[in-house]
Amino acid sequence: MGQSPRIEVAAVRASPDVGDPGKSPTADAQPPLCISARGLRHVFPDGTVALDGIDLDISEGSFTAILGPSGCGKSTLLRLVSGLENPTVGSLTVLSHAVAAPDAGRQPERATRIGFVFQDAHLLPWRTVLHNVALPLELRHTSPAEAERRARSALAEVELGDATARFPDELSGGMRMRVSIARALATEPKLLLLDEPFAALDELTRHRLDERLRGLFAQHRMTVLFVTHSLSEAVFLADRALVMSRRPGRIVLDHRVDLPKERAAFLRTEPSFVRQTAILREALEKHGSTEDERS
């Protein structure tokens, strides 16, 4: 029998992880925590130990990228944060104001404030773009007029305001991902989780979507956790990049990205950008051979 998970409701002091580079990092200026994990371990029923010894504080309003070899537990970490899975051992506080349940089990208050975007857009082919985006609101019994208003507004934010009546099979891969992001934004999440959302797209489309996503992050007051295999995507998007070891995943590097808050395409060729991707690459090379490479 595994130990019962413990989901804590108590407020946790923020640790100085990500501050505003423009302000002096006094203790009072620290934003509250969105996520706090202590001693997190996750073991699947077949005995696979996906994560171990995860201690992590994520400040509200920060953008954190998670890198690591395939199979190291990145998706599992997002699933724990989202409440889709419960940790086997350890404590996890997510959106502390919203977590009501003291123990394991689905926590609807938390789920409604979290948006989750996967690598596959997971759109319903028989629904129009508008009705795909409105779906989570319909499921929450938002009035049809309000659901439509919010869906249209979210679609406009991803520059798909003129595609509302189209069906998913009439869209490119990049457009489908934008619909998926709009669907998450329409729920006005406090925390947005993205699991390799742009991995299947060509590089130019990916760069454009990275820029769009960073812009959306700046507009909305939300916290973002973003799983990626791309070092340059992590540096471009994030305020902070975590590198995980091979399974069981542990955090082996916690790197504060030193770039201006506002990200623009030219930054990708700046020496500081290149230097920071090299730092992440070195950590991945040291800790990150995949299960396949070792077998």
Can you tell me the distance from the alpha carbon of 91 to that of 97, in angstroms, rounded to the nearest whole number?
16
CB of 23 to ligand ADP, least distance (A): 34
Can you tell me the distance from the alpha carbon of 6 to that of 95, in angstroms, rounded to the nearest whole number?
15
Q: Which is nearer to ligand ADP, 12 or 199 (CB)?
A: 199
Residue in 2, 3, 21, 48 binding ligand ADP, rule: CB under 6 A: 48
Unique residue bearing structure tokens 């003291």? 102
- Using CB under 6 A, which residues numbered 150 to 209 contact ligand ADP? none
* Choices 64-72, 136-144, 197-205, 211-219; region in contact with ligand ADP by CB under 6 A: 64-72
Q: Which is nearer to ligand ADP, 118 or 167 (CB)?
A: 118
Q: Which is nearer to ligand ADP, 30 or 75 (CB)?
A: 75
Residue in 50, 129, 185, 191 binding ligand ADP, rule: CB under 6 A: 50
User: Residue count at the site for ligand ADP (CB under 6 A)?
Assistant: 13
User: Diameter of the chain by CA atoms?
Assistant: 55
Q: How far is CA 208 from the centre of its chain?
A: 18
* Choices 13-21, 27-35, 40-48, 231-239; region in contact with ligand ADP by CB under 6 A: 40-48
- Residue 256 DSSP SS3: strand
Q: Does 75 bind ligand ADP (CB under 6 A)?
A: yes
For the chain, the C-alpha Rg in angstroms (whole number) is 19
Q: What is the residue type of 208?
A: R
CB of 52 to ligand ADP, least distance (A): 11
* Choices 68-76, 93-101, 135-143, 150-158; region in contact with ligand ADP by CB under 6 A: 68-76
252: burial class by Cβ within 10 Å (0-12, 13-18, 19+)? middle
State both tokens at 206: 């990916």
Distances (CA, A) of 77 to 40, 72, 125, 135, 286: 9, 10, 29, 26, 21
Q: Which is nearer to ligand ADP, 44 or 260 (CB)?
A: 44
State both tokens at 10: 């108590």
* Choices 44-52, 126-134, 170-178, 182-190; region in contact with ligand ADP by CB under 6 A: 44-52
Which run of H or of E encompasses 39?
Answer: strand 33-43
Residues linked to residue 6 through DSSP beta bridges, in sequence order: 91
Residue in 54, 56, 72, 81 binding ligand ADP, rule: CB under 6 A: 72
Q: Does 246 bind ligand ADP (CB under 6 A)?
A: no
Binding-site ranges for ligand ADP (CB under 6 A): 44, 46, 48, 50, 68, 70-76, 247
